[in-house]
Structure 1
Amino acid sequence: MTIKYPDGRYYKGSTDINQSNIKQQHRDNVVFGGRGMSLEETINDSNDYYRSQNRAVIYKKPTPIQIVKVDYPQRSKAIIREAYFRQASTTDYNGVYRGYYLDFEAKETTNKASFPLKNFHQHQVDHFQRCLAQEGICFTIMRFASLERYFVTPASLLIDYWQHQDQKRKSIPLKEITAQGYEVQAGFQPALDYLAAVDQLIANSNLINPKGDNHGTK
């Protein structure tokens, strides 16, 4: 099956898609809490746990796809042969926690000393800025795969490095992420308790707005 982006580029991920099950290709597997799970699966599993415990309501955002060619080899089964991403996605996840709107992106790298900015896109940075202006709690979950370390990092850190990447390096040093972010340990229930770090982020929310004002402070 063929899937294209709005600018005409071809999607190179998995094309094993049918009408009732449209999924993005999972990242490389990693063991969390004794189970083989991708980063995306781990966050989804954690969100399921949070909802079951009434702690938060957070979901992965679906990517809008326009189907243009479908085959019907059987009356009860349809196979999508060609589809397009209708628009660029914003960030991976959003939801509500303790009365706060959460919006975040999950990324990973094999680098050991820094996180490349090329893992992000301008429209995602723009989206973070708009959400922060509305007092949302915005962050990234960064995984350093080679180190098996995970950080909840304020979106303001990404925005700062993104806006000054011509003057600064094109990656965020691990020491900066360690200093401004909150490390999260993999576990069992939940698989990745990132809300514990979000609690700290909320407590320091007056420090995460890129405008330097008190947006986000409750």
Structure 2
Amino acid sequence: MPLRAAQRQGEKALLKKASFSDRGMTLEQQINESNQYYLDAGIAVVHKKPTPIQIVKVDYPKRSRAVIREAYFRQASTTDYNGVYQGYYLDFEAKETRNKTSFPLKNFHEHQILHLEQCLDQEGICFALIGFMTLERYFVTPASFLIQAWQNWKAAGKSSMTLAEIEANSFEIKSGFRPALPYLEAVDRIIADRKQEHGNK
């Protein structure tokens, strides 16, 4: 079902009264709320990947029940989110910054960049959703540009993407009500660009 049609169809059932609690949400909270909206409206299925946990100590007070006494979060091996939208596999990382003029590339990990490269090789729709939280501006940055910026950092020491570079190579999205971050509008544009470049694929 097309995105805008589904949004109209589900609008009455899904809209809730505005509350002040919607303000000041973290980027992750905004994305999670948006994903729930998309799921409820039958638009897309996108979920946050669980953070892997290293279990250190387990007690068994009863034979039928185990109690975890000590555990640690491990570094995630891939990206934050994945899912399916209109037959396309989505995979993306969410990052936010308080900087106003640039985004530090050190906020990404090498294994995340490699994962995005591998997903792109399989024709996935891959990107970073970057939030400039002080500016209240949000960008869907295609993985191809992010990977290039990362490679330039490693080769030439350019350790950040300027806001101007992100503006020129990304799709800006405006925060809203439901969904809080309509990032699938940018995904539609990525898909349209891909079809124009490579045919209906």
Same-fold status (TM-score > 0.5):
yes
Distance between the aligned counterparts of 2:21 and 2:130, measured in 1? 18
Taking structure 2 as the reference length, the TM-score comes to 0.80
Alignment gaps of 5+ in structure 1: 1-30, 208-212
Select 1:53's aligned residue among 34, 41, 50.
41
Answering whether residue 162 of structure 2 is matched by residue 173 of structure 1, we say yes
Deviations 1:26-50 (CA, angstroms, capped at 9, x unpaired)? xxxxx99944422111111100000
**Secondary structure, counterpart of 1:111 in structure 2:** coil
- TM-score normalised by structure 1 residue count: 0.74
Distance 2:140 2:95 in 1: 11
Identity of aligned residues (%): 64
Asked if 1:146 corresponds to 2:96, the answer is no
Distance 1:72 1:152, change over 3 A: same
- Structure with bigger helix share is 2
List structure 1 runs of 4+ shifted beyond 3 angstroms: 31-36, 70-75, 77-81, 84-88
Q: Please report the RMSD computed on the Cα atoms of aligned residues, expressed in angstroms.
A: 2.8
Matches of 1:74 and 1:35 in 2, distance apart? 45
Structure 1, residues 66-98: CA drift from partner, whole Å, max 9, x if none?
3122468999x9764422446642000000001
SS in 2 for 1:204: helix
The count of residues paired between Structure 1 and Structure 2 equals 182
List gaps (5 residues or longer) in structure 2: 1-18
- The one of 31, 34, 39 aligned to 1:43: 31
Contact kept, 8 Å, 1:161 with 1:168, in 2: the verdict is no
Match of 2:125 among 137, 146, 151: 137
Measure the CA separation in 2 of the matches of 1:68 and 1:49: 37
SS at match of 2:191: helix
Does residue 203 of structure 1 match 2:156?
Answer: no
Give the 3 Å change call, closer, same or farther, for CA 113–206 of structure 1 in structure 2: farther
